[in-house]
Amino acid sequence: MAAGNLIDGRVIAEQIHAETAQRVWALKSRGIEPKQVFVRVGEDPASKVYVGMKEKTSARLGIASETRVLPETTTEADLLAIIGQLNADRSVHGILVQAPLPKHISESRVFAAVAPDKDVDGFHPINVGKLMLGDETGFRPCTPAGVHELLIRSNVKIAGAGVVVLGRGNIVGKPMAAILCQKSHHADATVTICHSRTGDVADHCRRADIVIAAMGVPEFVKADMVKPGAVVIDVGVNRIADSSAKNGSRLVGDVDFTRVQPIAGLITPNPGGVGPMTIAMLLANTTRAAELATR
């Protein structure tokens, strides 16, 4: 099938950015400047790239941003103290602690330390609980929220659809399932979560109207696992060896895109699918945090 079945995350992310920029302008017209602070511990190359992209897009939309770069040797207590200071700073509306953190720091304790009303990543237990309860006053995690927007804005029928989510992680898999199974508008799906202990994953996928791959396994979803006409969303980011590439490796998703695309009704490319949406939802969350803080 031709490129006509691609869900272009870059285009949809720009639609959301335009909406966010209007909201930022409305806040600034009232003398309020939305601001977020990124906290990065260590020099993980991918983290540096991700934070840089978020900073650049924030500036384009008029959202103030600041990055606190801490050494790899930073203690958990010191990091928690910095988060406490940011929680108390009324000029800061959003706090994002970039994962991964060094092994001696507990990600769960750090995420729980961020004030729920500044938790624009949606990882605080209160926001996780609100998501599970269908309480829309919380912040949703950015990647699954972005996938949801891709489906909505691509006019994918979610209500009554059979959805397979590949992966049960706390960042994508579990919240993705929670979003889609809610009794609410643009939800009401029947969701199956498949993981490393699931028997015959391929059989589950073949029955699905929507497949969302977030396992972290390169090109796991093959053509014979997809029902003709199904919607396929690839969340995976994996680096594999490639002697023909300049640096000896290349990035691929969790879907064997070349072979699955001709079968799928709609499919996200990788890159250019889910990735841009994650940043779009983060900045929308930060803007919402600023709106809520000034009510």
Provide the annotated active-site residues: 54, 98, 121
Do 267 and 232 contact (CB within 8 A), yes or no?
A: yes
Task: Return d(Cα 171, Cα 68) in angstroms, integer.
Answer: 23
Task: Return d(Cα 253, Cα 167) in angstroms, integer.
Answer: 13
CA atoms within 13 A on the CB side of 243: 0
H or E, element range at 213 = strand 210-213
CA dihedral 286→12→125→68, nearest 10 degrees, is -50
Per-position b or e across 226-236, b if 16+ CB within 10 A of its CB: bbeebbbbbbb
Task: Return d(Cα 285, Cα 220) in angstroms, integer.
Answer: 31
Which residues have a Cβ under 8 Å from the Cβ of 65 and sit 6 or more positions away? 35, 36, 37, 38, 54, 55, 58, 59
Task: Return d(Cα 64, Cα 16) in angstroms, integer.
Answer: 18
